[in-house]
Amino acid sequence: MNGSGGKASLRVWGSPENSKVVIYIDKQAYDDIHRHGAANPQREVVGILLGNVSEDSTGKYRVDIVGIVKSESAPGNQTQAQFTHEVWLQLVESAQRNYPNQKVVGWYHTHPGFGAFMSDDDINSHRVAFSHPWHVAAVCDPIKNELCFFGWDGSEIKAIKGFYTYEVPVKEPKPLPRPERMAPSQRKIPAFLIPVLALFLALFTIVGLALTVWLPGDQRKTSQPPLKDFPAAVVSFRNEEKGEIYHYYLIQKNGEVWRHTLNKPEPWDKEKSLPIALKEIVEQPTANIQKDSGDTIGVLKMQAKDEAGKLWILSTSISNTGEITEWQKTEPGTTPPAGISLSISEKYLLFGTTKNTISLQLSFIGSGNLSWHISSESTGIKVDKESGVGNAIINVTVERSELIPGDHLDKIIFSYDGDKKTEEVLTFVSVVSVTEPVQKMPSFSIISVKDENDDGKISREGEKVLVLVQNVGHGSGQAEVSIDPSEVFAIVESPEAQELKPDEEFEFVFRLKPKTMRSGISENLVFKVKKLTSTTDEYYEESERFFTP
């Protein structure tokens, strides 16, 4: 395990033999990971693991970790370090300098105060850069003094049940015996042969490169992309027929695209390069199944900018072997929208106590027109058209004589595309009694709920959620907005009650923060507004789904 000699002191953590990868880590490297994290308790740090790997006859791997290379420049915060191209290049260069005879067997990072676990972002990073079945990831919480290893189990990344640490005692060097005679000097290469040998080596290298580039068809064997070319993006696609998973790696340099089939050994396959000089990927790649298209089983698509900053939509087809065809590039403005949708000019009809008729404009977005029809359960709401085809103007009228005094909330439902799609418009009506004096009572409704970036995601650092409330009654009053308890999001800040006049709007601001470090977790949050002076639990509520980034 260590070339320094001596009897190693071995310590067992958990049940290391119960996993497909058995890990031995030098105590010095183990302590260095903890020290790196402890020196940065306010942010996540990263590094790579160096050592060697062997495989026995049963297919079980043994990974010996002899040292680490840490990154001091990775940008990040307490919950996420950015594993950028520059950080990867710095780590690899440092590894080649300090551990020239070792290979990269994995990586490590810290979660200060959050425990040793792999978030969805961590799993994606592992899939991108550490795809060999023996690649491992160490996660350390230096505050809770926890460290856990994770590795491949088939196509999944799971916790490794244990590991070994070893420590080799340092031996005092023994003095060498005094030589009785001088060792004979080694023969030198004659000076006139040095240019000949240099020329021979150069020719040998050129022939080797030529064979690598020019061998046709299946005779050409490609290799894994150089470690310094860390992918700008990666996307996966599953071939259901063959049960294979293809990972497509898009390299910033030269716009190269590489494919690796999960659980298959090297070589990797170099696919057709992007048709632009890649500057930035604006929208991450997606791979979707394509049915009934012959040998084409999927479509790979993304948005990216070229070196001049021009935006393009790039797409290519995926064949049944995982290979991709020629890339197609189009400008976003020239691409027709997918499908068709209905747009309605107003989402909320506020009749109050005075308005009786409001016009709605219907228009279809996309290619073509569809038939539509209207339904409403309210007896006091009438429309001048109940169905039609294509764009239209609909007049919505309140029949106040058919409604009892008070505040009324209802909705009009527009159905289209064979009743497979619907759009809703809410209506607010206040009816005053003829025989009784008007009571100036407020009535509050939530008009909209959205996060600050309006993308449905609550950032790790916390983000504002904006709740727009309107007084649709006919009296002033204080509105109070609250959120039901959440398992996914913590309420960092809540707004105070606000006085609203009739028809007045106000934006109540909450600040939310994810409780979990896992990405893509969502929850439907219920927002409630009530009159502060109300003695009952009568609320108007609106729900909105938010995701962790």
Q: Does residue 321 fall inside a structural domain?
A: yes
pLDDT at residue 177 above 70?
A: no
Q: What b/e string do you get for 434-445 counting C-beta neighbours within 10 Å, with b at 16 or more?
A: eeeeeeeebbbb
Specify burial of residue 271 (Cβ count, 10 A radius: 0-12, 13-18, 19+).
buried
Q: Are residues 133 and 58 in the same domain?
A: yes
Given 296, 319, 334, which residue is the final one in a domain? 334
CB-based burial of residue 299 (10 Å sphere; 0-12 exposed, 13-18 middle, 19+ buried)? middle
- Answer whether residue 131 is part of any domain: yes
Per DSSP (E only), the strands in 417-504 are 421-431, 444-451, 463-471, 477-483, 489-493, 498-500
Residue with the bigger pLDDT between 222 and 534: it is: 534
The percent of residues in the chain predicted with pLDDT above 70, rounded, is: 77
pLDDT score at 368: 61
Can you give the pLDDT at residue 243?
77
Least confidently predicted of 123-132, 208-217, 246-255: 208-217
Measured on CA atoms in the order 526, 530, 535, 536, is the torsion positive or negative?
Answer: negative
Query: Is residue 30 domain-shared with residue 151, that is, in the same domain?
Result: yes
Look at the chain and report how many structural domains it folds into.
4
| pLDDT higher than threshold 90 for residue 86 | no
Cα 384 from chain centroid?
47
**Using 50, 70 and 90 to split pLDDT, how confident is the model at 84?**
low
Q: What confidence score (pLDDT) does residue 222 get?
A: 45
Q: Cα–Cα distance between 19 and 12 in angstroms, integer?
A: 14
Measure Cα distances from 311 to 54, 114, 275 in Å: 47, 39, 13
**What kind and span of H or E run contains 143?**
none
Regarding whether 141 and 29 lie in a shared domain, the answer is yes
For 413-435, how does the pLDDT look when each residue is reduced to its tens digit (9 = 90+)? 888 877 778 888 888 888 876 55
**Mean pLDDT score of the chain:** 77
Q: Which of 403, 431, 459 is the last residue of a domain?
A: 431
CA gap 95, 48 in Å, rounded: 8
How far is CA 251 from each of CA 222, 259, 322, 425, rounded to the nearest angstrom? 16, 11, 18, 47
Burial class (CB within 10 angstroms; exposed 0-12, middle 13-18, buried 19+) of 131 = buried
44 assigned to some structural domain: yes
The helix (H) or strand (E) run that includes residue 170 is none
Cis omega (within 30 of 0) for bond into 267:
yes
CA distance 205 to 146: 49
10: Cβ–Cβ under 8 A, 6 or more apart, which residues? 164, 165, 166
Same domain for 385 and 249? no
Within this chain, do residues 327 and 347 fall inside the same structural domain, yes or no? no
Is residue 509's pLDDT more than 70? yes
The answer to whether residues 45 and 160 belong to one domain is yes
pLDDT tens-digit series, residues 514-531: 988 877 788 889 999 988
In a domain, 177, yes or no: no
Strands of 103-110's sheet, edge to edge? 9-14, 162-167, 21-26, 61-70, 46-55, 103-110, 136-141, 146-153, 156-159
pLDDT at 170 (0 to 100): 55
Residue 224 placed within a domain: no
Q: What percent of the chain has pLDDT over 90?
A: 17
Please write the tens of the pLDDT for every residue from 243-298.
787 878 887 767 888 887 765 666 678 888 899 888 877 776 778 887 656 678 88
Who's near 451: CB < 8 A, 6+ residues apart? 457, 458, 463, 464, 465, 466, 546
Per DSSP, the residues of 409-439 read EEEEEEEETTTTEEEEEEEEEEE--SSSPPP
User: How far apart, in Å, do the first and last CA atoms of the chain sit?
Assistant: 41
Q: Do 465 and 483 lie in a common domain?
A: yes
Is residue 383 situated within a structural domain?
Answer: yes
Residue 398 lies in a domain: yes
One domain for residues 24 and 118: yes
Residue ending a domain, among 334, 364, 398, is: 334
pLDDT of 79 above 70: no
pLDDT tens figures, 146-162: 899 999 988 888 889 88
Q: In terms of domains, do 29 and 158 share one?
A: yes
Rounded Cα–Cα distance for residues 341 and 126 (Å): 39
Question: CATH code at 408?
Answer: 2.60.40.10
Largest pairwise CA distance in the chain: 128
Residue 87 reports pLDDT greater than 60: yes
- What are 357-368's pLDDT values in tens digits? 988 888 776 656
Residue type, 299: V
Rounded CA separation 540/481 (Å): 10
pLDDT of residue 73: 57
| Domain range enclosing 483 | 444-547
| Cβ(135)–Cβ(145) below 8 Å | no
Residue 2, in any domain of the structure: no
381 and 322: one domain? no
The three-state secondary structure class of 549 is coil
Q: Give the per-residue pLDDT at 462.
A: 92
Position 9 pLDDT exceeds 80: no
Which two structure tokens, joined as six digits, stand for 234? 């990666």
Strands 348-352 and 340-344: unpaired
